[in-house]
Structure 1
Amino acid sequence: MSTWAIGIDIGGTFTDVVALNYDGGALQSLKVLTTHGDPAEGVANGVKSLIEQCRIQPADVKRIVHATTLFTNALIERRGEATGLLTTQGFRDVVEIGNERKYDLYDLNIEAAPALVQRRWRAEISARMDAGGEELAPVDLDEVRRAVAPLVDEGVKSLAVCLLHAYVDPRHEVAVRDALRAVYPDLDITLSSEVAPVIREFERMSTTCANAYVKPLARRYLTALQQRLEALGLPTDVLMMLSNGGLCHVDEARRAPIELLESGPAAGAISASHYSLRDSLSNLLAFDMGGTTAKLCLVEDGNPAIAYGFEAARQKRFAEGSGLPIRITTVDLIEIGAGGGSIAHRDALGLLKVGPQSAGSEPGPACYGLGGKDATVTDANLVLGYLNPEYFAGGTMQIDVPLARQQLAATGEQVGRDVVGVAWGIHDIVAENMAGAARVHVAERGRDPRDFVLLCTGGGGPLHGYYVAQKVGVRKLVCPPAAGVASAYGLLVAAARTDRSRTVSVRPDTDSLQNLEQAFRDLESQVCQSLDSLEATFGPVRLARYADGRFVGQGFTLTVALPAGPYHGEGAASEAEVREILSAAFKEGYREKFGRTPPDVPVELMNLRVSGEAPPRQAPPNEVLEAGANAQPKAHRQVYFREYNDYADTPVYDRASLRAGFEAMGPLLVEDAGSTLVVGPRGRVTQSASGNLIVDILEQA
């Protein structure tokens, strides 16, 4: 009997479905258009088509893993449920006051990201604790019910509860939840002490409100998904990809859907890391470009960079402070509105611009023939010859090239360019947008892009990677197998992961190590408890300790890795040694970030963090390509390259025909069902035994 796993990734344009036979079968994949009205319908249709094509018996499917951008899009587009906020007296306007920082000092018309909760749906109660967890005013349950009743009467479906200093002691929030559940059993309730138990009122309240805002949507979608899978005879205990690059059970996702905001991009980074390590390429820029957005993540020593917060729904693309702060653990990446569906337009200065507006899947690019009236990146790539209209999405879609030319011509008239000129302009602008974002992202982390390899995935990554690499300064490009569905494949190789944190102010030089160790053990117990339900298929659990620290007197914190415990009791080093290694761990991380440390200033650890990771017990087989004679092109077609400023007769290879050791100079194209790798005249491509296509970009003669 075969054992199958299915990965599902919902994007803004396509829903990718992959199936993997753990008994040695090849990866099978399918792309279908995302059904925005009912995303579960597109998922069910894609899964049904794939298992029928591959003749998979539903009983043989043992694991289904899912990633989605639905909840991120709901925040950006403000499509969440009517949400209320219950907070401590005097704090109802924190979500609008924020940090009182202008993200653009010279913009007189600056607009902050609008609050998710309308002011009339924010209520206050008198219950209050101080910063040490001492009760100043108890919870009045009658007051709680009186405060929430008008919100429910006005149609509030979800409530965020964020009381002052609840990160120290959650008793008040728990009492509020229990009282409200008895009166309003259908009201979704989110507690800040469960979602973001860390200091800083604005960030904690913003995260809690965001979770409450998408929670009803997540509950409905995940329930509909399970019902459709059950109708197909498939398992319903779905695993969900988290923003931190790990997996959790679907029930955990229902509780805290905010943890899934960056699940799709995180899966792409995990896939990139997996493929790169097979060729010992440990440092890379993971470049993933789909139909709506492009993402880039720094991967060092085979591990994607991790951040402990990000901003959603920014008013300005690269302006820090212009979005909603979300305090969750996430793969650290940069994302821009550049994908196959990104719309080309003339701006107020008469210049050609691309994105961030996207045609998505409904109606999609003009070439889809579904009513799209704007020229997009996909239309440009078709006219340039990079895409094969007869083999688009593996031949599952009919593509209309004349419609693409027609819309490109209309855009060209606006900017004074012919069809080819505007098509190349669109392709080049997208590459420059991504390269500009990559340069900033890498420089902010003190790295040199020339030390990295660009690994490109998604339907658009291999199309644009060759020119993006040159603009960034990278000289080696990698295109993994099934690059077009790499995020969906990343779901099948990801580990289960849970992160927990809490605020505990500790000075390692003087404060109690016993209390510090107990706090870490409590967090580790929570992490292990969360992963217990997955013990049969994931394990053993590896725990890692981190802390947000600062030098006393500073207003910001820096997250650093700490040595493994224990810090007190049996098995611990001497007290002096523990104090020294804790302080040294923070100072080393601080020195790496800023170059030097201030003299004679004590260290203070503010937030403690524990990460638990459990690898899959059954890993996908590593297929090795056999060596063979160089493959012959399956066709030739006219393809435009900047180096020639013209079209060139270009060989087109079928990726399935390539064997280990294949080598050829560009220009050439390599096609598979999900993507096309573009190799320009300066590229030399080699097929490795791992399945990766490796492109070396040579210096210009």
Structure 2
Amino acid sequence: MSAWAIGIDIGGTFTDVVALNYKGGGLRTLKVLTTHGDPAQGVADGVRTLIGQCGIVPGDVRRIVHATTLFTNALIERRGEPTGLLTTRGFRDVLEIGNERKYDLYDLHIEAAPALVQRRWRAEIGARMDAGGGELAPVDADDVCRAVQPLVDEGVRSLAVCLLHAYVDPRHEVAARDILARHFPGLEITLSSDVAPVIREFERMSTTCANAYIKPLASRYLTSLQERLGKQGLPTDVLMMLSNGGLCHVDEARRTPIELLESGPAAGAISASHYSLRDSLSNLLAFDMGGTTAKLCLVENGNPAIAYGFEAARQKRFAEGSGLPIRITTVDLIEIGAGGGSIAHRDALGLLKVGPQSAGSEPGPACYGRGGADATVTDANLLLGYLNPDYFAGGTMSIDLDQARRELARVGDSVGRDVVGAAWGIHDIVAENMAGAARVHVAERGRDPRDFVLLCTGGGGPLHGYYVAQKIGVRTLVCPPAAGVASAYGLLVAPARADRSRTVSVRPGSDSLGVLENAYTDLEAQVLQSLQALEATFGPVRLSRYADGRFVGQGFTLTVPLPPGPYGSEGGSGAGDEEAVRKALLAAFEDAYREKFGRTPPDVPIELLNLRVSGEAPPREVPRDEGVAAGAAPAPKARRPVYFRESGDYVDTPVFDRGALRAGFRADGPLLVEDEGSTLVVGPRGRVTQSATGNLIVEILEQA
């Protein structure tokens, strides 16, 4: 009996569907245009088409895994439900006050990211706790109902509850939730103590409101998805990719959809890590470029970098503080509006610019012939010869090359360039935009891009990787198998994961270690409970402890890994006596601080502020690694003129079918390697090798 798993990744332009046979090996892929009006319909149609093409019996599908950008886009485009906020009296304006910090001191017209909750839909109650969790004023049911009733009357369908100091003790928020559930049964409720139980009022409130804002949308979409999959006889207990690079059950995602904001890019990073380790390439820059955006993630020792917060819907893409702070665990990456659908235009200074506006899938680039009247990156790549109009998306889409040429000529005329100059300018600008973002991202983490390998995925990564690599000084490029649907494949090899955190202020040099151990034990129990629904297919669970620490008096924290517990004497230290445990905890923070800042301040006590636990469980069944057999080098399947900067003109270039390549294949550029989902561009300075693992490895030679 065959055992299949299906991965689904919804992007801004394409929805990628992959099917993997765990028993017999082999990956089947399909790209369909995203149906923005009803994304679940596009998913259902794509799955139906793929299983039909592959002859898959629905009953043989064991697992369906899903990632989506729907909820991120809902935040950016403000397409969530009418959302209210219930908070402690005197704190309704925290969303506007924020941190009272301008992200651009010299911009006289600066605008902060608009709050997700309108001021008139923010209500206050008198219940209050002090910073230690002591009750100053109890929750009054009449007070809660009086505050919320006007919001419901005005159409508010989702409510964020964020009461003062709820991260210390959630009793007041729980009591308010129970009251609201009795009196307003149709109201979606989000508690800050469930979503972000950590200190800092603005960030906690912003995260809670964001979850409430997208929760009804997420509930409707996930319910619709389950219903449509169920009608096809497929499993409905879908697994969802989280922003942290792990999987959770669909019911967990429905409760806290805020954790799915970066699910698609996270899947891409997991896929990059999986492919690179097959060739012992543990340090890489994972470059994923799709139809709407391009992402870059730093992977060290085989693990994608992790952050414990980011900003969504920034007013200025690289300006910290210009977006909505979201306090969730996420794969640490940088994202820019550069994809195949990015629109080229003339700016106010008469210069050629590309993006961040995108044609998406509706109407799409001009070459799609769906009404798009703007020249895009995809149009430029077609004219330059990088893409094959007869084999676009595996030949599933018809392409209008003449329409692409007309729109490129129009853009070229506006900036004084011929049609080829305009096409190359678009391609080069996109590469420079990504290279600039990569330089900043890597430098901020104290790394040198020349020490890394660039692994390219997505439909656009292999197209642009060759020139992006040269701009940032990288000499080795890797293109994995099925690169165009790598994020969808990453869903099928990802572990299950859960992260929990809470604020507990402890000085490990002097305070009771029992308090610290009890807090971590409680967090570990929450993580294990969250992963319990998946224990049949994922396990065993590996727990890791982290903490946001600082030297007393500092206004910022540094997240560091801590040694395994237990710490408290009542459970036994597990690492010698109590003094040894204290030294180990202090050394863990000091070592990380020195690596980040060079030295530590003398004679200042250390405080651990936010405690964090991560639980990760690998899949119990993994796909068979087929690799690539050795054999004779195939002849090119075709030749066509392709433009390269080094030549300054079109060059008659061989085109290879990736499926025909064998281990040991080796060739000097220029050349192209095509498969159904992407095209790898190897320029005149490149030399490509097919490894036995299936990765194509490109070495960029020094200029002669």
The reply to whether TM is greater than 0.5 is: yes
Compute the displacement of 1:571 (Å): 4.8
Asked if 1:375 corresponds to 2:337, the answer is no
Query: Quick one: distance in 1 between partners of 2:531 and 2:460?
Result: 35
Asked if 1:268 corresponds to 2:268, the answer is yes
Compute the displacement of 1:245 (Å): 0.1
Task: Tell me what 2:639 maps to.
Answer: 636
Task: Tell me what 2:528 maps to.
Answer: 528
Matched ranges for 1:278-677 at <5 A:
278-568=278-568, 569-572=571-574, 573-677=576-680
Secondary structure, counterpart of 2:566 in structure 1 = coil
Q: Deviations over 1:129-177 (max 9, x none)?
A: 0110000000011000000000000000000000000000000000000
Query: Quick one: distance in 2 between partners of 1:82 and 1:376?
Result: 35
Task: Tell me what 2:87 maps to.
Answer: 87
Q: What amino acid sits opposite 2:281 in the alignment?
A: L
Task: Tell me what 1:682 maps to.
Answer: 685
Asked if 1:141 corresponds to 2:141, the answer is yes
Compute the displacement of 1:623 (Å): 1.0
Query: Quick one: distance in 2 between partners of 1:101 and 1:596?
Result: 28
Query: Quick one: distance in 2 between partners of 1:594 and 1:105?
Result: 26
Q: What amino acid sits opposite 1:575 in the alignment?
A: E
Query: Quick one: distance in 2 between partners of 1:632 and 1:82?
Result: 60
Residues 25, 625 of structure 2: 8 Å contact kept = no
Residues 9, 488 of structure 2: 8 Å contact kept = yes
Asked if 1:696 corresponds to 2:699, the answer is yes
Query: Quick one: distance in 1 between partners of 2:444 and 2:597?
Result: 11
Task: Tell me what 1:66 maps to.
Answer: 66
Task: Tell me what 1:253 maps to.
Answer: 253
Secondary structure, counterpart of 1:28 in structure 2 = strand
Compute the displacement of 1:107 (Å): 0.4
Where structure 2 has 5 or more consecutive residues not aligned to the other structure, the ranges are none
Q: Deviations over 1:521-541 (max 9, x none)?
A: 000000000000000000000
Where structure 1 has 5 or more consecutive residues not aligned to the other structure, the ranges are none
Higher mean C-alpha displacement, 21-30 vs 316-325: 21-30
Q: What amino acid sits opposite 1:466 in the alignment?
A: Y
Query: Quick one: distance in 1 between partners of 2:145 and 2:592?
Result: 48
Q: Deviations over 1:630-679 (max 9, x none)?
A: 11100000000000010000000000000000000000000000000000
Query: Quick one: distance in 2 between partners of 1:673 and 1:185?
Result: 49
Query: Quick one: distance in 1 between partners of 2:244 and 2:444?
Result: 20
Q: What amino acid sits opposite 2:62 in the alignment?
A: K
Compute the displacement of 1:452 (Å): 0.2
Q: Deviations over 1:212-261 (max 9, x none)?
A: 00000000000000000001100000000000000000000000000000
Q: What amino acid sits opposite 1:186 in the alignment?
A: G
Secondary structure, counterpart of 1:344 in structure 2 = strand
Query: Quick one: distance in 2 between partners of 1:571 and 1:20?
Result: 45
Q: What amino acid sits opposite 2:629 in the alignment?
A: E
Q: Could you state the TM-score of these two structures normalised by the residue count of structure 2? A: 0.99
Secondary structure, counterpart of 1:210 in structure 2 = helix
Compute the displacement of 1:25 (Å): 2.6
Secondary structure, counterpart of 2:511 in structure 1 = coil
Q: Deviations over 1:66-116 (max 9, x none)?
A: 000000000000000000000000000000110000000110000000000
Query: Quick one: distance in 1 between partners of 2:101 and 2:346?
Result: 32
Query: Quick one: distance in 2 between partners of 1:548 and 1:379?
Result: 47
Q: What amino acid sits opposite 1:559 in the alignment?
A: T
Compute the displacement of 1:570 (Å): 2.5
Query: Quick one: distance in 2 between partners of 1:25 and 1:446?
Result: 40
Query: Quick one: distance in 1 between partners of 2:564 and 2:419?
Result: 61
Q: Deviations over 1:378-397 (max 9, x none)?
A: 00000000000000000000
Query: Quick one: distance in 2 between partners of 1:93 and 1:570?
Result: 47
Residues 25, 623 of structure 2: 8 Å contact kept = no
Residues 2, 24 of structure 2: 8 Å contact kept = no
Matched ranges for 1:52-63 at <5 A:
52-63=52-63
Residues 631, 663 of structure 2: 8 Å contact kept = yes
Task: Tell me what 2:214 maps to.
Answer: 214
Query: Quick one: distance in 2 between partners of 1:10 and 1:642?
Result: 34
Task: Tell me what 2:173 maps to.
Answer: 173
Q: Could you state the TM-score of these two structures normalised by the residue count of structure 1? A: 1.00
Query: Quick one: distance in 2 between partners of 1:330 and 1:349?
Result: 38
Task: Tell me what 1:186 maps to.
Answer: 186
Q: What amino acid sits opposite 1:642 in the alignment?
A: R
Q: What amino acid sits opposite 2:269 in the alignment?
A: A
Secondary structure, counterpart of 1:268 in structure 2 = helix
Query: Quick one: distance in 2 between partners of 1:177 and 1:521?
Result: 26
Query: Quick one: distance in 2 between partners of 1:526 and 1:454?
Result: 37
Query: Quick one: distance in 1 between partners of 2:428 and 2:552?
Result: 48
Task: Tell me what 2:126 maps to.
Answer: 126
Secondary structure, counterpart of 2:455 in structure 1 = strand
Query: Quick one: distance in 1 between partners of 2:233 and 2:598?
Result: 58
Compute the displacement of 1:624 (Å): 2.0
Asked if 1:150 corresponds to 2:150, the answer is yes
Query: Quick one: distance in 2 between partners of 1:178 and 1:632?
Result: 70
Secondary structure, counterpart of 1:252 in structure 2 = helix
Compute the displacement of 1:24 (Å): 2.4
Q: What amino acid sits opposite 1:635 in the alignment?
A: A
Residues 667, 687 of structure 2: 8 Å contact kept = yes
Q: Deviations over 1:460-492 (max 9, x none)?
A: 000000000000100000000000000000000
Query: Quick one: distance in 2 between partners of 1:78 and 1:472?
Result: 35
Secondary structure, counterpart of 2:607 in structure 1 = strand
Secondary structure, counterpart of 1:296 in structure 2 = strand
Secondary structure, counterpart of 1:133 in structure 2 = coil
Higher mean C-alpha displacement, 21-30 vs 270-279: 21-30
Task: Tell me what 2:40 maps to.
Answer: 40
Q: What amino acid sits opposite 1:178 in the alignment?
A: D
Query: Quick one: distance in 2 between partners of 1:666 and 1:463?
Result: 14
Q: What amino acid sits opposite 1:570 in the alignment?
A: G
Q: What amino acid sits opposite 1:657 in the alignment?
A: A
Residues 634, 661 of structure 2: 8 Å contact kept = yes
Asked if 1:244 corresponds to 2:248, the answer is no
Secondary structure, counterpart of 1:447 in structure 2 = coil
